[in-house]
Amino acid sequence: MDDDELQARLKAYEGRPAAVSGTGRDPVNAPMIRHWCEAMGDRHPAYTGPDAIAPPTMLQAWTMGGLGGHAGGRAGAYDELLGLLDGAGCTAVVATDCEQEYVRPLRPGDEVTFDSVIESVSGRKTTKLGTGYFVTTRTDVRVAGELAGTHRFRILKYAPTRREPRERRPRPVVNRDNAGFWEGVREHRLLIQRCTACAALRFPWLPGCGTCGAPGWDTVEASGEGTVFSYVVVHHPPFPAFAEPDHAAGPAGPYGVALIELAEGVRIVSNVVGMPCDRIRIGMPVRLDFRRYDEELVLPVFQGVAA
């Protein structure tokens, strides 16, 4: 299929339904409104009390089916359109923007219904991400048949631009505030800043003391002893640049990122290396090591200490 034929087929989806007779999973309700307001930090008084309305920007929230999907809903045309784009090599998707119009407020107890239509499919566009097509759907949200608001949602379905594999670990950002730290790392010394006015230790490096505000500082060298204060194990997506040289799981294997509490009392984010990630534990003793990742880059890492 050539480009013109594809464009014609895509255009034919404009005006076709993306969802028909959808119903909100839950009626508009106070707990969801409260959680939303807490997450957004929105304390507007209109969203609480006996006459509360829902924040207008929650419009889409009332139409979402969650992981279980919802009754009524997605029409075949939208899936067909996405399948057509997949077949044309536009396998990647990114949500680009949304627009909402509010016609009447939603209140707790309102039962929401909605219909979505494929409003437009753009011509072929080239973006930094790759070349593809913008697909806009419009969802009309109703209560008792009356329009409450409209939600336009636009995605870009695109063929990802091929990138050079980035095998090298990202470089640290070295600036005048932390240059001394990285000089220490090159000499295999982990240096902690110490305030010359109040002796408080601080890490990461900062231009002033967080305890007393004084600008003067010197350094103390960490003993290298520490414990895991907290950690995550990163499984996906795999970043070959973060593969550990001795990684039993191979270059795409998981890696452990930990907040290490040093014996001196400050904490540092680093990697726990030299052991399977599923053995990392909070409170586990670790010991500082320095690992060379390439001709330029040495990083402080931590080895698990056998109990």
**CB within 8 A of 38, min separation 6: which ones?**
none
Which of 107/194 has CB closer to Zn ion?
A: 194
Q: Give the max Cα distance, the chain.
A: 74
Residue 126 binding Zn ion, by CB under 5 A: no
Q: Write down the least CB distance from residue 92 to Zn ion, Å.
A: 50
Helix, strand and coil in the chain, % to nearest 5: 20, 35, 45
Residue 212 binding Zn ion, by CB under 5 A: yes
Question: Following DSSP, what letter does each residue of 47-70 receive, concatenated?
Answer: GSSTT----GGGGGGGG---TT--
Residue 200 binding Zn ion, by CB under 5 A: yes
- One-letter amino acid identity for 180? G
Binding mask 11-50 for Zn ion (x = CB under 5 A): ----------------------------------------
Q: Which stretch binds Zn ion (CB under 5 A): 11-19, 174-182, 210-218, 276-284?
A: 210-218
Q: Give the integer Cα–Cα distance in Å for 254 and 244.
A: 9
Residue 195 binding Zn ion, by CB under 5 A: yes
Single out the residue of 78, 67, 64, 156 nearest to residue 114, CA to CA. 64
| Distinct helix (H) and strand (E) counts, the chain | 4, 15
Q: Site size for Zn ion, by CB under 5 A?
A: 8
Residue 206 binding Zn ion, by CB under 5 A: no
Q: Which of 37, 84, 190, 209 binds Zn ion (CB under 5 A)?
A: 209
Residue 197 binding Zn ion, by CB under 5 A: yes
By CB under 5 A, name the binding residues for Zn ion.
195, 197-198, 200, 209, 211-212, 214
